[in-house]
């Protein structure tokens, strides 16, 4: 069975999930702090320029892993993440 290397994604110290500044755009897409995504790519030796060509998989992994960690540490639920999880 293949393992997903992003499941071991390292998150930057000193930042919180809220620092991603996740929000929904008018086109029903999402927006977030790409400088923080760039930092996460650097920490994890991912090529940020390649990630920008197809950001969906990496951004989804970052959001999923960081949000699970956020909740596990007692963080409050995020309305947009909950909506995304439920397919809204």
Instruction: Give me the residue spans of the domains in the chain.
Output: 16-85
Secondary structure class of 34 (helix, strand, coil): helix
So what's the pLDDT on residue 23?
A: 95
So what's the pLDDT on residue 7?
A: 61
| 31 vs 14: CA distance, rounded Å | 21
Using alpha carbons, select from 72, 69, 83, 67 the residue that is nearest to residue 24: 83
Q: What is the pLDDT of residues 38-79, one digit of tens each?
A: 999 999 999 999 999 999 999 999 999 999 999 999 999 999
Secondary structure class of 30 (helix, strand, coil): strand
pLDDT higher than threshold 90 for residue 1: no
Q: Which residue has the tokens 């996740």?
A: 22
Tokens of 2: 């293949």
- Is 54 within 8 Å of 60 (Cβ atoms)? no
pTM of the model: 0.85
Q: What is the pLDDT of residues 5-51, one digit of tens each?
A: 446 789 999 999 999 999 999 888 899 999 999 999 999 999 999 99
């Amino acid at each position: 069975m293949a393992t997903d290397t992003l499941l071991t994604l390292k998150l930057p110290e000193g930042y919180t999930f809220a620092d991603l500044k996740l929000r929904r755009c008018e086109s029903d897409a999402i927006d977030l702090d790409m400088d923080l995504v760039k930092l996460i790519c650097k920490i994890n030796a991912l090529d940020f320029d390649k990630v920008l060509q197809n950001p969906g998989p990496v951004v989804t992994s970052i959001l999923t892993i960081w949000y699970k960690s956020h909740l596990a540490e007692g963080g409050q639920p995020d309305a947009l993440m909950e909506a995304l999880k439920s397919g809204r």
